[in-house]
Chains A and B, each alone.
Chain A
Amino acid sequence: MERFNVYASRLITKKEYFSPGHRACQGCAEALAVRLVAKALGQNVIVSSATGCMEIVSSPLPFTNWRVPWIHVAFENTSAVASGVEGGTKALIRKGKLPDKGTVFLGMGGDGATTDIGLQSLSGAFERGHNFLYVCYDNEAYMNTGIQRSSSTPFGAATTTSPAGKLKPGQITWKKNMGEIAVAHNIPYVATACSSYPFDLIQKVKKAARIHGPAYVHVLSVCPTGWRVPPNKAIWIGRLAVETGVFPLYEVENGKYRITVDVPELKPVLNYLKPQGRFRHLTPERVDQIQERVTREYNQLKAKTAL
């Protein structure tokens, strides 16, 4: 549990802007993340969504789980659609056709939609400086289409297109660092979050929504189905990702780094890898390789916070 008052749950709005009855798997921490982001943002938001798990489970014609305005166009263009929503609204307000309500423009997509096919449109939207918030729900593979690898799949993870076989040990490349890519665009706010730390996530999303200009939040979204963990362990494994340094929770405000959930002594990565079926083929040597890199990158991050 985060070091917050255990009763902090009561401070969160009881309203659900993302309705129950959605068709996500049991124990989907991504659905939880969407629920929390929706609570953080409230009613005054327009959501542009990519194709993916969250889009499919929440919008089977003629039904919708969305209680806020929501648009889905295609897979790789969320940021472009959000740019149009933002730009169109901006023009209409300036020309006196709509009142200015300070609506938040949210773009949401999975890791595939963000780090792979949607990277171009995201980069374009960042560069143009649109006043929007992009939240990436990272379940570390193309889960909706059946667990295929993405550039966000961690080293050594088995997916259907990076299976562990006689020759290859699962994913052979390292996870693309989207946080750093966002920071390199010089946008005012970048953060990482995880649905296992709900208050940290909600605070960051609220902060990001108040930013004028582009903001990016990268949410680690545990997928029990794809990661091969029991559904009830979804929150527990997300917590381990943070406690082992595999997924540090930090924010970068105008280039200034700050770790928001401090872990004074990192637990061994094996604690995180072992319970997941997608890592069960890893040899001790591979685990050491992962440990070395995680430790190194965590120290690099800590060094940045001192700047």
Chain B
Amino acid sequence: MGERVGIEVSLAAAEAVKMANVDVVAAYPITPQTHIVEHLSELVANGELDAEFIPVESEHSAMSVCCGSSAVGARTFTCTSSQGLALMNEIVFIAPAMRLPIVMILANRSLSGPLSIWNDHTDVMSVRDSGWIQVFTENGQEAFDHVMFCFRVAESPSVSLPIMMNMDGFVLTHVIEPIEFWDQETVKQYLPDFEPVNRLHPDNPVTMGAFGMPGIFTEAKKAQDQALINSKAEILKAWKDMGDLVGRYYKPVETYHVEGAETVFLSMGSVGETISLAVDQLRAQGKPVGQVKLRLWRPFPFEEFREAVRGVKQMIVIDRAITYGGVGGPVANEIRSVLYLEENMPTITNFLCGLAGRDVTAEDYMAMFEKTEQMVKDRVRQEDYIIYGVRE
């Protein structure tokens, strides 16, 4: 096994990208992603990573460069946050349609306005429908492990889709955690070389990016949708193989104390660890509370999720993004739809919290639990959402 070090998570992620032997890194600096890119450029400058580091002049160009390099069969990486993701939005939708296996780390940060550099999920939620495979990591070890996972899944010939790995900005990127590195031999076993399905090369001239008339566009979208749905098989296999190699088995839906739970918190990303503290405290008070953490966001893991919450009477969905004038946070929206036709569908309260990095403590989550209990007792209609902690 590799060594276990105390290291800033951004640097660990960059080290993982190095160990994956990436060929091209094209990125533009934006807080809080900067440490990842800076470390990668240092590794290239020192000859520790043999890659083309392309310091692009905008994020839109970053994703465009990635499309070009992925198209010629180079292992390609980029990372960004918030406004950078918004700027590359046009190309973010194009990459999966062209089935280019780009790996992107998203250091989750709030979308302007007002301008904010702090963490929430408004950026990733804005590209929910882009067609990327999307996973969430909660701590440093998960971040390191999932870099390998991302290259492995994205580049699988049966998948060939870009993949977005979410890490909470500052909250995860800038903390120092103990992380067990893989050794290079393990990486080699887990991650084969990239052999693209299609490659731009004069010996075999192909056309990529032809335009679609109305008569063919629907078929193109069906093919793309099916590819994303089908990728689940490779995703599960990649997690299983990782577990067999390094002893950590990841799942699309992680659970904590769900046995006998009547009320369950649902969250994505790093807040999960704080919620676990609240769950512990509530359980100590005798409340039948549990927690479900969604690791795989797209393609949505329907079976695993419905199985995990079977028998639950009440769900508390934590959203870290807002949909103005709509039915609630994006996650609650999805969860309500996923469970709509289930027998004994649980009631669902929705709390929007931790927007732009505002701290949410275990006590806050306990307060949300109490509020939920009260709403159930008062038979309050629960399709609304509550922006938690807003000062009047």
Residues of B with C-beta under 8 A to A46: 72, 200-202
A276 within 8 A of partner (CB): no
Roughly how many angstroms separate A63 CA and B216 CA in the complex, as a whole number? 12
Roughly how many angstroms separate A297 CA and B128 CA in the complex, as a whole number? 52
Q: Do A81 and B64 touch across chains, with their CB atoms under 8 A apart?
A: yes
**Minimal beta-carbon separation of B207 from chain A (angstroms):** 4
Residue of A nearest to B193 (CB): A97
Roughly how many angstroms separate A127 CA and B54 CA in the complex, as a whole number? 11
Roughly how many angstroms separate A91 CA and B24 CA in the complex, as a whole number? 7
Indicate which residue in B58, B69, B94, B206 contacts A124 across the interface (CB closer than 8 Å): B58
Indicate which residue in A73, A82, A98, A101 contacts B209 across the interface (CB closer than 8 Å): A73
Indicate which residue in B51, B60, B200 contacts A80 across the interface (CB closer than 8 Å): B60
B233 within 8 A of partner (CB): no
B273 within 8 A of partner (CB): no
B126 within 8 A of partner (CB): no
B52 within 8 A of partner (CB): yes
Residues of B with C-beta under 8 A to A92: 23, 72-74
Interface size class of A (residues with CB under 8 A): 35 or more
Roughly how many angstroms separate A138 CA and B202 CA in the complex, as a whole number? 27
Indicate which residue in A43, A63, A76, A85 contacts B68 across the interface (CB closer than 8 Å): A85
**Minimal beta-carbon separation of B83 from chain A (angstroms):** 16
Roughly how many angstroms separate A51 CA and B52 CA in the complex, as a whole number? 27
Q: Mark A45-86, 1 if CB is under 8 A from B, else 0.
A: 110100000011001111110111111111011011111111
Roughly how many angstroms separate A289 CA and B159 CA in the complex, as a whole number? 61
A166 within 8 A of partner (CB): no
**Minimal beta-carbon separation of A84 from chain B (angstroms):** 2
Residue of A nearest to B199 (CB): A69
Residues of A with C-beta under 8 A to B372: none
Indicate which residue in B72, B210, B213, B216 contacts A89 across the interface (CB closer than 8 Å): B72
**Minimal beta-carbon separation of A259 from chain B (angstroms):** 33
Q: Do A80 and B213 touch across chains, with their CB atoms under 8 A apart?
A: no
B50 within 8 A of partner (CB): yes
Q: Mark B194-227, 1 if CB is under 8 A from A, else 0.
A: 0000001110111111111100100010000000
Residue of A nearest to B65 (CB): A84
**17 more A-B contacts (CB under 8 A) besides A61-B220, A71-B207?**
A44-B202, A59-B210, A68-B205, A70-B206, A70-B207, A71-B200, A72-B210, A72-B211, A73-B64, A74-B90, A77-B61, A80-B65, A84-B64, A84-B65, A88-B52, A91-B69, A127-B57
